[in-house]
């Protein structure tokens, strides 16, 4: 063959895009979600809507005894109140930004896992229309923060289960410490999670190894609690008084709010009945959590490493049931929010087959339709008022 007929190797002319396909999908979904959340939030502000618990939190920012253990939110609200012209509605801006970030981040991770951007946009768009996500994004509540941190714990647990090195244990410990300092009911989430750690960390095959694992994971949380105790001492607040506030019903919320809680009237001090109810609510309101159960039943790889799936599926309702048993949550909404974001975090760590992706998408469709119209979710006048304002905006009422 002559030299003239020889073909020279052709270098690829294509260059790697400055922004990957995953980040492009994440930016598109995040910005679209931000626009939707802003429109809904503006509609609520026009109607003068505000969550009573958030109003109490805003008015009691300078009184730690009325905050129900939400000390990190106290500092944040005090900073917001320093802004001229700020009001309780200013907190909505923060939750809108946070919820849009979550939407975009999950979209990025799903595309990175091999999902088609169009299918990801479909799923995340429907999630943005889910009443629980809309409520988290537009009510200015720290509930969104708790759910984000819980989903971060799921990501950390997946890393621990996949890699299982010391760095993974440190990441898990930091995730739990962040949750502990931000959410008054974090203890009820952390305790059942600790039972899953030996399943996730396979190297802990001896008593010494298990002890070392728990010490590494618990160390950041213990440091946080020590800092709280020292801070209380510096401000002349006895630790016993802080503990008494935490152990009071709803962590020291006003008697009016406690009395208005239909959830506590029905299930307070009855954790088993609360667990059954919460499992039902999660299955109906967030039916894509059932995909986790399907994967555990049908996928051998999932059963080989089940800790992350079990945590996303069971820990939110178990935590809600434990908190209800100690009179520490006033409604099932926080459990449903945790279930939604924890299951979404699990989906971003799993490798779905094609039919499983479509099953995930259609269960979101079913959940959105059921959630807006089921009486199981809209059990208080305040929630019904929020729903009526949103539905009237879409001319559905």
Delimit the domains of the chain by residue range.
51-88+142-383
pLDDT tens profile 135-159: 999 988 888 999 999 999 999 999 9
Threshold 0.85, pTM exceeds: yes
Reply yes or no on whether the pLDDT at 351 is more than 60: yes
Q: Which range, of 159-173, 234-248, 295-309, 342-356, averages the lowest pLDDT?
A: 234-248
Reply yes or no on whether the pLDDT at 237 is more than 90: no
Q: Which range, of 1-5, 18-22, 56-60, 303-307, averages the lowest pLDDT?
A: 1-5
Closest to 319 measured CA to CA, from 199, 151, 185, 120: 185
Separation in Å, CA 238 to CA 26, 65, 229, 252, 262: 46, 12, 8, 16, 33
- Taking the chain, what is the end-to-end CA distance rounded to the nearest angstrom? 78
Reply yes or no on whether the pLDDT at 383 is more than 70: yes
Reply yes or no on whether the pLDDT at 223 is more than 50: yes
pLDDT band for 233, please (50, 70, 90 cuts).
Answer: low
- The answer to whether the CB of 99 falls within 8 A of the CB of 136 is yes
- Does 50 or 214 have the greater pLDDT score? 214
pLDDT band for 71, please (50, 70, 90 cuts).
Answer: low
pLDDT tens profile 314-341: 999 999 999 999 999 989 999 999 999 9
Q: Report the alpha-carbon distance of residue 162 to residue 253 in Å, rounded.
A: 41
Reply yes or no on whether the pLDDT at 244 is more than 90: no
Q: What is the mean pLDDT of residues 206-211?
A: 84
Closest to 91 measured CA to CA, from 102, 83, 80: 80
pLDDT tens profile 162-174: 988 888 899 999 9
What is residue 31's predicted lDDT score, i.e. its pLDDT? Answer: 96
Q: Which of 9-18, 130-139, 246-255, 382-391 is most confident? A: 130-139
pLDDT tens profile 261-310: 889 999 999 999 999 999 999 999 999 999 999 999 999 989 999 999 99
Give a three-class secondary structure readout of the chain: CCCCCCCCCCCCCCCCCCCCHHHHHHHHHHHHHHHHHHHHHHHHHHCCCCCHHHHHHHHCCCCHHHCCCCHHHHHHHHHHHCCCCCCCCHHHHHHHHHHHHHHHHHHHHHHHCCCCHHHHHHHHHHHHHCHHHHHHHHCCCCHHHHHHHHHHHHHHHHHHHHCCCHHHHHHHHHHHHHHHHHCCCHHHHHHHHHHHHHHHCCCCCCHHHHHHHHHHHHHHHHHHHHHHHHHHHHCCCCHHHHHHHHHCHHHCCCHHHHHCCHHHHHHCCCHHHHHHHHHHHHHHHCCCHHHHHHHHHHCHHHHHCCHHHHHHHHHHHHHHHHHHHCCCCCCCHHHHHHHHHHHHHHHCCCCCCHHHHHHHHHHHHHHHHHHHHCCCCCCCHHHHHHHHHHHHHCCCC
Percent of the chain with pLDDT over 70: 87
pLDDT band for 70, please (50, 70, 90 cuts).
Answer: low
Q: Which residues contact 355 (CB under 8 A, 6 or more apart)?
A: none
Q: Report the alpha-carbon distance of residue 38 to residue 220 in Å, rounded.
A: 36
Q: Report the alpha-carbon distance of residue 361 to residue 86 in Å, rounded.
A: 39
Q: What is the mean pLDDT of residues 348-363?
A: 94
Q: Report the alpha-carbon distance of residue 131 to residue 387 in Å, rounded.
A: 8
Reply yes or no on whether the pLDDT at 84 is more than 90: no
Q: Report the alpha-carbon distance of residue 333 to residue 337 in Å, rounded.
A: 6
């Amino acid at each position: 063959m002559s030299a003239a007929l020889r073909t020279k190797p052709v270098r690829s002319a294509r260059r790697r895009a400055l922004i990957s396909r995953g980040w492009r999908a994440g930016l598109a979904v995040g910005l679209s979600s931000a626009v939707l959340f802003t429109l809904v939030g503006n509609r609520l502000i026009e109607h003068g809507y505000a969550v009573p618990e958030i109003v109490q939190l805003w008015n009691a920012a300078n009184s730690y005894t009325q905050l129900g253990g939400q000390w990190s939110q106290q500092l944040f609200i005090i900073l917001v109140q320093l802004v001229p012209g700020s009001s309780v509605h200013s907190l909505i801006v923060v939750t809108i930004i946070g919820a849009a970030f979550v939407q975009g981040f999950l979209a990025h991770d799903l595309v990175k896992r091999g999902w088609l951007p169009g299918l990801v946009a479909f799923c995340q768009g429907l999630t943005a229309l889910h009443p629980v996500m809309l409520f988290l994004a537009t009510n200015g509540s720290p509930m969104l923060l708790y759910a984000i941190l819980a989903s971060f714990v799921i990501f950390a647990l997946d890393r621990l289960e996949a890699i299982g090195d010391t760095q993974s244990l440190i990441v898990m410990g930091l995730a739990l410490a962040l949750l502990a300092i931000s959410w008054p009911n974090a203890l009820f989430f952390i305790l059942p999670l600790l039972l899953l750690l030996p399943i996730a960390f396979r190297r802990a095959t001896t008593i010494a190894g298990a002890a070392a694992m728990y010490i590494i994971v618990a160390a950041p949380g213990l440091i946080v609690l020590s800092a709280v105790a020292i801070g209380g001492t510096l401000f002349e607040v006895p630790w016993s008084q802080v503990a008494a506030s935490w152990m009071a019903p709803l962590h020291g919320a006003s008697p009016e709010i406690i009395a208005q809680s239909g959830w506590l009237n029905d299930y307070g001090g009855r954790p088993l009945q609360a667990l059954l109810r919460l499992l039902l609510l999660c299955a109906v309101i967030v039916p894509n959590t059932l995909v986790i159960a399907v994967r555990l039943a049908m996928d051998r790889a999932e059963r080989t490493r089940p800790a992350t799936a079990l945590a996303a599926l069971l820990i939110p309702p178990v935590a809600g049931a434990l908190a209800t048993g100690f009179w520490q949550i006033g409604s099932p909404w926080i459990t449903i929010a945790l279930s939604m974001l924890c299951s979404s975090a699990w989906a971003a760590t799993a490798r779905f087959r094609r039919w499983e992706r479509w099953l995930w998408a259609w269960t979101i469709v079913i959940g959105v339709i059921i959630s807006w119209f089921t009486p199981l979710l809209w059990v208080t006048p305040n929630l019904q008022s929020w729903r009526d304002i949103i539905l009237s905006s879409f001319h559905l009422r």
